[in-house]
Amino acid sequence: GVTFSEKLLVLIDECSSTGDFKEKRNLVNDLKTIISEKRIQKRLLYVDYGAAKNFANFLIFTNNPDALTIDAKDPRYFVVDHYENRLDQKFYNKYHEWRTNNGAKFVKWYLINRDLSKFNNMAPPPVTDAKSRMAEQTQNPLLMAMKTAFDEGKMPFPFNHSIRGTTELSEWYQKFGSGKVKKFADNPKEIKRCFEILGFHELGQVKHKLRDEKPSLWIIRNIKTLS
């Protein structure tokens, strides 16, 4: 926490993770701590370990559309994309000349005098198309497999089935899923999380008289009619 704890703006350039979904999720979890915590632990050289207030804001640049494994509704991130071609070098030369010749002072004046009376700093940022695209490209493999099967009416979500259980889904993917999908399908909490993201309605545990079991069931289709 030493490198950014005393900063107001931290720039992370070329952010990327070449690992799998789990590693990218770990990266996001690490960022979550330093982005959202009001106090962070820090230790300066030859100084006792202690806590400090955190006022840092983070600006992250990347060339990879799947750089961070985020959820579209995660309130910590505001994502925009820029696909315009690079301008002629003369533009950048003039810009840097303007910036170093008192241009930065004009920017500072504009920011200081900008009317923020209607800005709610406690509200979540807008969900942009860029954020939704990044969330889609970084979904875990189980969620991607479920969404595709559900949209296309394929097993284990055929169009003529409206109710599914978490246990039977886990067993199905353990038998027919790919290696990566199997790892996630083995976790009941992960299946529940996927169901929630897909908008399924939870019925809870329901007694199955013939099998003498109480599976956890969800309505996956015709939700308004059946719930």
Domain ranges of the chain: 9-138, 141-225
- List pLDDT tens digits, range 159-187: 999 999 999 999 999 999 988 888 889 88
Measured CA to CA, the distance from residue 131 to residue 209 in angstroms comes to 46
pLDDT at position 91, please?
A: 96
Measured CA to CA, the distance from residue 121 to residue 115 in angstroms comes to 13
- List pLDDT tens digits, range 101-158: 999 999 999 999 999 999 998 888 889 998 888 887 777 788 889 999 999 999 999 9
- Does position 1 have pLDDT exceeding 80, yes or no? no
- Does position 19 have pLDDT exceeding 80, yes or no? no
- Does position 191 have pLDDT exceeding 80, yes or no? yes
Tokens of 103: 């241009």
Tokens of 151: 């949209």
Measured CA to CA, the distance from residue 219 to residue 227 in angstroms comes to 8
pLDDT at position 100, please?
A: 93
- List pLDDT tens digits, range 41-51: 776 666 667 77
Helix (H) or strand (E) holding 201: strand 201-205
Tokens of 135: 């969330």
Rg value, the chain, Cα: 24
Sheet with 163-165: list strands edge to edge. Answer: 163-165, 216-219, 201-205
Whole-model pTM? 0.59
pLDDT at position 140, please?
A: 79
- Tell whether omega for the bond before 156 is within 30 degrees of 0, i.e. cis: yes
Measured CA to CA, the distance from residue 115 to residue 105 in angstroms comes to 18
The three-state secondary structure class of 182 is helix
pLDDT at position 22, please?
A: 65
pLDDT at position 98, please?
A: 96
- List pLDDT tens digits, range 57-112: 889 898 887 778 888 888 888 999 988 888 999 999 999 999 999 999 999 999 99
pLDDT at position 16, please?
A: 72
- Does position 24 have pLDDT exceeding 80, yes or no? no
